[in-house]
Amino acid sequence: MDENSFYLTLCIILVVILATCVIVLLKSYMRLLKRTESLLESIENLGKLNDRLRMDRHDYLNHLQIVYGLMELKEYDEMDAYLKKLYKEVMKTGKAIKTKKPAINALLAAKAAEAEAKDMEFVIEVKSDLEKLRIEDWELCKVLSNLIDNAMHALDESDKSEKKIRINVSETKEQYLFEVEDNGPKIPEELREKIFTKGFSTKKESGHGMGLAIVKKVLDENAGSIKVDSNDDETIFSVMFGKGDE
């Protein structure tokens, strides 16, 4: 090999190395950008949760004064009815702050407020503090956020008078379980695999499908799995993460 060929080959190798470095840096930057966007959303949700808790604290002091007044007047039936309504309001916020994942708590509180604004019943059942769950909080937020939004879209297209969403967070000895249930339209069995495909939408059929490709991608990258059960009464998306060797 002559000297010119040697230097040409060396230049080509350097260009390839530099191009590879640029591609790696761009991919890292995009991952960081996506994570930053998710973190900013989590911070915003935490702020909303904090504001709501502060407002609730102020409201509950007023509620206590009303209850005390009803008790003084011996209006026990009125007091009982008032306390039942107050208990439901307390549970809406209280159930969303049981885990040790602040971002998840904030997300659930934000989605509960969004569902309430749409006149949808939003029930949260938390039976795990998620302390040892290994997926990053912001990744799990993407999964839950897309599944809940998906349920809301399904109910938007439903003609049922009562629209309900239930979130169940639990764990067994083997796994962590997240269930997002709605009483919207049934997903046909032949579509239950296709809805996780990028670009596929079932909006015309049932309202399910938006964001589900993102959910599947996150789960594949974090050793998670998902299954769908759907009938005329309810649709349940169940997300599982194995505990492995904790």
Provide, rounded to the nearest whole percent, the portion of the chain with pLDDT above 90. Answer: 30
H or E stretch at 55: helix 3-72
3-72 helix and 102-117 helix, angle to the nearest 10 degrees: 60
Count Cα atoms within 13 angstroms, Cβ side, for 120: 29
H or E stretch at 227: strand 224-230
Domains assigned to the chain: 3-242 (3.30.565.10)
For residue range 112-170, what is the model confidence (pLDDT) as tens digits? 888 988 999 998 888 899 988 999 888 998 899 999 999 999 998 888 889 999 999 99
For residue range 67-109, what is the model confidence (pLDDT) as tens digits? 888 888 888 888 888 888 777 666 655 555 678 888 888 888 8
pLDDT at 95: 53
Token look-up 């915003």 returns 44
For residue range 192-240, what is the model confidence (pLDDT) as tens digits? 888 888 777 655 444 445 589 889 999 999 999 999 999 999 999 999 9
Of 45 and 61, which is predicted with more confidence? 61
pLDDT at 207: 44
**DSSP 3-state of 178:** strand
- In angstroms, the CA 99 to CA 130 distance is 6
For residue range 35-53, what is the model confidence (pLDDT) as tens digits? 666 666 666 666 666 666 6
How many whole angstroms from its chain centre is CA 137? 10
* Cβ contact 86:25 at 8 Å: no
H or E stretch at 171: strand 164-171
